[in-house]
Amino acid sequence: MSQSLIIVGAGLAGWTTAREFRKLDTTTPVFLVTADSGDFYAKPSLSNAFAQGRLPAQLVSTPAAKMAETLNVTLLAHTRVEAIDTAARTLNVRSAAGLQSLAYRDLVLATGAQAIRVPVQGDAADAVMSINSLDDFAVFHARLQAGAQTPGRPQRQVLIMGAGLIGCEFANDLAQAGVRVRVVDPGLRPLAALLPPEASAALQKALEALGVQFDFDCTVRAVDHAAGRLQVTLATGETVPADAVLSAVGLRADTALAQAAGLLVDRAIVVNTYLQTSAAHIYALGDCAQYASAPSLLSMHGSTLPYVMPIMSAARALAATLAGSPTALVFSLMPVSVKTPALPLVVAAAQAGLAGCWAGAGEGIWHWLDDAGLPRGFVLAGAQTSQRMAQAKLLAP
Amino acid sequence: MKTYICIVCGFVYDEAAGRPEDGIAAGTLWADVPASWACPDCGVAKSDFEVVEV
């Protein structure tokens, strides 16, 4: 029987699990399998790199080889997992070197999420980009730089599909870097899923002051090539030139591998409070996981929490479990910072599906009140973001 | 005064600005930030907070 721990995925969830595990266990062989290079980077920095003038290569905080050496991990980069045999406890992986089989004692799935794509017409529909990794960001960056180096070229212009968290963060970052930004969204306001209408309005105003133009209640009909640039046709019939079109309509957990292996999958890979999937010795965390530790009124299997802080908590609990001390994951309140410097926001969401309503609680503060009138979540805007700790104490347990 | 970035989440600590909301006064050097302080965005403890100067 193999004694190895195998981690699939080299994002924050995969590497943090390896790092936390090594703090507790220095001898168990650890393998990390990843389809990309395995370089470690802070994914949240992808949406604030432009204004800081940071280049894609500068975003790598630690090269893969250095990570592997420091953590004493055998890295299988540019390698895809093709199948998991849950009974034999093996997985088949394929790289340029061919196919091989690896045996595991415990397996951790940290496969992340894939960008959701909405169908678009036109001869440049495949030029629509999503930025879900450093590689994606490098492609986007190169395209905008190419636009900048052409003499006589008008101001660089980017059209963003989606006015959610990622769409708004990129809009802020690009506008601050001097790019003309247009945001198209079928909804009626930015961050509609997270904010009360007044906070959305304040964010919209702040981004518009930076030059961002919003088109709500609108969609992209087609993207075509036109004179070396892209031409976007909106549902209204209006055409907009663009150097790049970014799709930021959301993420969907990458569950293909888990599903093929027969693991229980709902919106993501279902895990119990010990982060174990429906199969023994297989665990999951990060954007691919649906946590029993994050109860939801919408699903008996809990929620996904595609943010940094939940990944850190999950990795710590899982590392302890894998090192021999079964540790149930308990999430504390995890307010999310929205990186829109034009109007900084902190959002602490109430439990998914909880009935209630937003109520203003002072300038730049809103509370989500449940049916009994108790605060269950909050939104802080501007200078009030400094009140996150004080506000967290006000929430009903 | 220097600026540090949390390599896990990209949170920026600016010594000049400090972190008054966490009781860390403006002008507090990274070395003087209490060991109990954790990154407000990702929860990484200061001892695990691998920083790069920018």
Instruction: Give the pLDDT of residue A151.
Output: 61
Q: pLDDT band at B37, cuts 50/70/90? A: confident
ipTM for the predicted complex = 0.71
Instruction: Give the pLDDT of residue A147.
Output: 62
The segments of chain A whose pLDDT lies below 70 read 147-153
| B21 neighbourhood in chain A, CB within 8 Å | 386-389
> Is A213:A181 a contact under the CB 8 Å cutoff?
yes
Interface probe, candidates A62, A170, A308, chain B, greatest B C-beta count within 10 A: A308
Q: Does A386 touch chain B (CB under 8 A)?
A: yes
CA distances (Å), origin B14, targets B4, B46, B53? 6, 14, 10
Residue A129 DSSP one-character state: B
Distance CA A202, CA A207 (A): 9
| B10 neighbourhood in chain A, CB within 8 Å | 42, 44-45, 48
Q: Does B32 touch chain A (CB under 8 A)?
A: no
Instruction: Give the pLDDT of residue A150.
Output: 60
Instruction: Give the pLDDT of residue A335.
Output: 87
Distance CA A111, CA A103 (A): 19
Interface probe, candidates A12, A20, A61, chain B, greatest B C-beta count within 10 A: A61
A243: CB partners within 8 A, 6+ apart: A143, A144, A147, A156, A157, A158, A229, A230
Beta bridge partners of A265: A269
Instruction: Give the pLDDT of residue A389.
Output: 80
Q: pLDDT band at B50, cuts 50/70/90? A: low
pTM of the model: 0.91
Residue A153 DSSP one-character state: P
CA angle A369, A375, A376 (to 5 degrees): 90
Instruction: Give the pLDDT of residue A148.
Output: 61
DSSP string, A374-387: -EEEEEEEGGGGGG
Residue A62: closest C-alpha in chain B: B7
Instruction: Give the pLDDT of residue A390.
Output: 85
Q: Does A16 touch chain B (CB under 8 A)?
A: yes
Instruction: Give the pLDDT of residue B51.
Output: 66
Residue among A377, A140, A109, A122 at smallest CA distance from A248 = A140
